[in-house]
A and B are shown apart, each in its own frame.
Chain A
């Protein structure tokens, strides 16, 4: 017991010294490595479900929405809009930031999924 206490005190001391005697800073996290995207039908459905918070369930806007439907829009339209958001070529409040969180393959798969949803709810 006393051994482990001594060990932990040594570790704390080493950390303090390592930081030049100042308060030890937590080491920054390593850069993330993400799992390869899941582009199975259920995987794409789960990915596209994230958009619902602003664009409505399955791309059908709730009554009173500010945004037009994603459901039933052509896949090409959606892909072009997302690419333009990513490149900063389309006016945006938040989509220029969110679009950068998705790969080209993910965007294409989500666009096809929204295109395949009927216009009607």
Chain B
């Protein structure tokens, strides 16, 4: 760690924020900070929460803890696998959040959130004190349910690419290096998992690449679920109309382990070999959120008005780590909405005001079924006080009538605007 980084973290954690090295001084750093919010995770949920808190109340200091130097989007990352987008296309900097909104970004990994001491400990050794903490750290994998995927042997050889970044680029290289006539195998875990339509979109993207570059190749989908979990009819139509027999779908095919050396997915009753394996293991709330897991040993339950944990006052949890409300997907749209609702609630609570008692969440998920054609699923969710949960508004939302080019453009439109909403 450089000296300026140390100074920065010291400033962010212990002394005045105004002294932070390397940050253009935002207006708020000149005034006394009335409260500090630490946000763990700079993805769709955490970055959005950071920007909105600073917009709603510049007297609240925000420290965003994010190990990655830049934001890399999971939405659109399947197009990198198809060869229709570059990693640069899905990467955005955190610098606007820092310079324009006065968010302090600590590029480090949060090793623990200590609710009793009200501090977030960083891998680098520092501790950041907070008045409220927002944990938006996404998911981690349950390697105990798929042991080989957690071993060093798997690293770089059998990838999940379910967190956009180096694995996305590495999986693209594997697909490019594959022989024509080879088989790409994608293994999907049982619901719930991050981005329900994502694996089916990925199958389309890989097939679109094969069609152009390796036309004798196949995409084999091994789905632990009994049927396609999202946009099923639309995906199946795309598979048959766009890709002929290239995509083969196997429901009720739960992977229990992988043989890395022989590139074999082990199902409950049979083994399936492939040339490139893309195995998405079962997942849970991010490990840093472990103390706040209350549902099935996997997910975190919250109060839907504030996103405050049911077991830890002062700790808010967002995004894919959550135990979902009925029919709420683990999506980037949702995480962005959680971030905004939580930001409003945290700003109200830190001012002694009541949180909004009628939050609304809007979900629009696009899937690219080729280089230009897309489909969507949309829903509107509002707070139901009797059930103390978010419920979909009956009659609102729905699916695309059919795959089309206009929605292909709107998928990128969604990404550009949501990135701007999260990152400035």
- Taking A33-B384, A57-B421, A98-B378 as contacts, is the C-beta distance between A46 and B413 under 8 angstroms? no
In the complex, which residues of chain B have a beta carbon less than 8 angstroms from the beta carbon of A6? none
Does B30 belong to the interface (CB within 8 Å)? Answer: no
- Taking A49-B340, A54-B413 as contacts, is the C-beta distance between A34 and B396 under 8 angstroms? no
Does B141 belong to the interface (CB within 8 Å)? Answer: no
In the complex, which residues of chain A have a beta carbon less than 8 angstroms from the beta carbon of B341? 46
Residue of B nearest to A95 (CB): B378
- Taking A35-B383, A52-B421, A67-B413 as contacts, is the C-beta distance between A98 and B407 under 8 angstroms? no
Question: Do residues B361 and A50 form an inter-chain contact, with CB atoms below 8 A?
Answer: yes
Q: Please, how many angstroms separate the alpha-carbon atoms of A35 and B12 in the complex?
A: 39
Question: Do residues A98 and B394 form an inter-chain contact, with CB atoms below 8 A?
Answer: no
Q: How many residues of A contact B (CB 8 A)?
A: 38
Output the residue of B333, B376, B380, B406 with the most chain A CB within 10 A.
Answer: B380
Does B360 belong to the interface (CB within 8 Å)? Answer: yes
Residue of B nearest to A43 (CB): B356
> A residues 40-93 with Cβ under 8 Å of B?
42-43, 46-47, 49-57, 61-67, 93
**Measured between C-beta atoms, what is the minimum distance from A81 to chain B in Å?**
16
Q: How many residues of B contact A (CB 8 A)?
A: 51
Q: Please, how many angstroms separate the alpha-carbon atoms of A36 and B379 in the complex?
A: 19
Q: Please, how many angstroms separate the alpha-carbon atoms of A29 and B390 in the complex?
A: 12
> B residues 386-424 with Cβ under 8 Å of A?
386-387, 391-398, 400, 404, 406-407, 409-410, 412-414, 416-421, 424
Q: Please, how many angstroms separate the alpha-carbon atoms of A100 and B364 in the complex?
A: 14
- Taking A35-B382, A93-B376, A94-B378 as contacts, is the C-beta distance between A66 and B397 under 8 angstroms? no
Question: Do residues A101 and B362 form an inter-chain contact, with CB atoms below 8 A?
Answer: yes
- Taking A35-B385, A46-B356 as contacts, is the C-beta distance between A55 and B417 under 8 angstroms? yes
Question: Do residues A53 and B414 form an inter-chain contact, with CB atoms below 8 A?
Answer: yes
In the complex, which residues of chain B have a beta carbon less than 8 angstroms from the beta carbon of A37? 358
Besides A53-B414, A64-B412, 16 new A-B residue pairs in contact (Cβ under 8 A), listed by A number: A34-B391, A34-B393, A35-B382, A42-B348, A46-B356, A49-B340, A53-B337, A53-B364, A67-B413, A94-B376, A94-B407, A98-B396, A99-B396, A101-B362, A101-B380, A101-B397
Chosen A-B contacts, 26 in total, with CB atoms closer than 8 Å, are: A32-B391, A42-B344, A43-B356, A46-B359, A47-B360, A49-B340, A50-B360, A52-B336, A52-B418, A52-B421, A53-B333, A53-B336, A53-B364, A54-B413, A55-B417, A56-B421, A61-B417, A66-B410, A93-B376, A93-B400, A93-B407, A94-B378, A100-B395, A101-B396, A101-B397, A102-B380
Q: What is the interface of chain A, defined by CB distance below 8 A to chain B? A: 29-38, 42-43, 46-47, 49-57, 61-67, 93-94, 97-102
